[in-house]
Amino acid sequence: MAITSSWRAYSDSKAMRASAIKRGTPRGIGERLIEFSLTGCGLLSVLTTLGILSVLVIETIPFFRQVSLAEFLGDSQWTPLFAEKHFGIWPLLVGTLMTMLVAICVALPLGLFAAIYLSEFAKPRTRQIVKPALEVLAGIPTIVYGYFALVVVTPMLQKIVPGLAGFNALSPGIVMGIMIVPMISSISEDALHAVPNGLREGAYALGAGRNATIFRVVLPAARGGISVAVLLAIARAIGETMIVAIAAGQQPRLTFDPRVPVETMTAYIVQVSMGDTPHGTLGYQSIFAVGAALFVVTFVINALGHRMARHAVSS
């Protein structure tokens, strides 16, 4: 048979191969080169972090040579572009916190209830359609939300809320909240999903109704994951830029009134960048100082969130 003869050839060629397992060719060098460059790719992310830190530090140091930390944290006015300069971060910080609070007040109930719906009520098919649809909200560029806040939401709110200015903290906050809904809902839903079914069945077996089961058993068991969602959402809202730059105004003022124009930290960076502020001036350095403050705030909140997430997983 033809096959048999080819088998013979097989065996012959095998016999002719000398010690074939020893390293001979420099093939290993190519492999190592590839591993080396892939390691480089991995380390690039560490370099990015170092880059962010050093850029912020390098430009912030000269800023604090001219502006004392006491003024930065103590003054209640922020007027770096005026003749009489004040560098108190509070107006920007309060503007940031206020828009963030409005956003969370919108996003938390919507996101949490949406998560409950998806995890506890929705049929798998509904879920399959609704989840990606919600994700679309997070994929829309923020500039589009900014337009929406300025052109649609503010005029609508002006009919309801007396004394609402054309630029305000309320409208961009609400729009930002809508944008953040999928972030809260998807992390919370994962947390609700992770609650073992045995707990639900245990509650039902005791005669608990659906609401009691959700509120007394499921939500408490998932509270770790939900807190993570809220923390990450807070960090996202604090760092959000275009919506507030467009619709909140650019007037740094220390106020807790959501109806009047304010300026956030991010919006200030954009405002200065849009103008012509030469390198080396105090104005130029001030955006890095504000950026550093923004970085610290978001980093702390994010790190807290990630830490809690690890904790929630391990427990």
Site for another protein in 124-163 (CB under 8 A): 130, 133-134, 136-137, 139-148, 150-152
Cα distance between residue 234 and residue 43, in whole Å: 29
- Residue reference for tokens 């460059």: 37
**Residue 306 Cβ vs another protein, minimum distance, rounded to whole Å:** 6
Residue 196 binds another protein (CB under 8 A): no
The residues in 229-268 that bind another protein, with binding defined as CB under 8 A, are 232, 235-236, 238-242, 245-246, 266
Give me 168's structure tokens. Answer: 């305000």
Residue 298 binds another protein (CB under 8 A): yes
Q: Which is nearer to another protein, 22 or 125 (CB)?
A: 22
**Residue 84 Cβ vs another protein, minimum distance, rounded to whole Å:** 26
**Residue 207 Cβ vs another protein, minimum distance, rounded to whole Å:** 9
Cα distance between residue 134 and residue 37, in whole Å: 38
Residues 6+ away with beta carbon under 8 Å from 41: none
Q: Which is nearer to another protein, 98 or 294 (CB)?
A: 294
Q: Which is nearer to another protein, 166 or 202 (CB)?
A: 166
The one-character DSSP state at 10 is H
Under DSSP, is residue 20 helix (H, G, I), strand (E, B) or coil?
coil
Name beta bridge partners: 78.
87
Burial status of residue 194 (CB atoms within 10 A of its CB: 0-12, 13-18, 19 or more): middle
Residues in binding contact with another protein, number by CB under 8 A = 100
Binding track, positions 61-90, relative to another protein; x by CB under 8 A: ------------------------------
Total number of residues shown for the chain? 315
The residues in 265-284 that bind another protein, with binding defined as CB under 8 A, are 266, 269-270, 273-274, 279
Cα distance between residue 138 and residue 182, in whole Å: 6
Residue 288 binds another protein (CB under 8 A): yes
Of 10-18, 63-71, 81-89, 254-262, the window that binds another protein (rule: CB under 8 A) is 10-18
Cα distance between residue 232 and residue 224, in whole Å: 13
Q: Which is nearer to another protein, 169 or 175 (CB)?
A: 175
CB hemisphere CA count around 60 (13 angstroms):
17
Residue 228 binds another protein (CB under 8 A): no
Name beta bridge partners: 87.
78
Q: Which is nearer to another protein, 53 or 76 (CB)?
A: 53
- Residue reference for tokens 């939900």: 226
Instruction: Tell me the DSSP string of 262-304.
Output: ---HHHHHHHHHHS---TTSHHHHHHHHHHHHHHHHHHHHHHH
**Residue 190 Cβ vs another protein, minimum distance, rounded to whole Å:** 14
**Residue 66 Cβ vs another protein, minimum distance, rounded to whole Å:** 18
**Residue 202 Cβ vs another protein, minimum distance, rounded to whole Å:** 18
Binding track, positions 27-66, relative to another protein; x by CB under 8 A: xx-xx--xx-xxxxxxxxxx-xx-xx--xx-xx-------
Applying CB under 8 A, which of residues 113, 128, 201, 256 lies at the interface with another protein? 113
229 with 111: CB under 8 angstroms?
yes
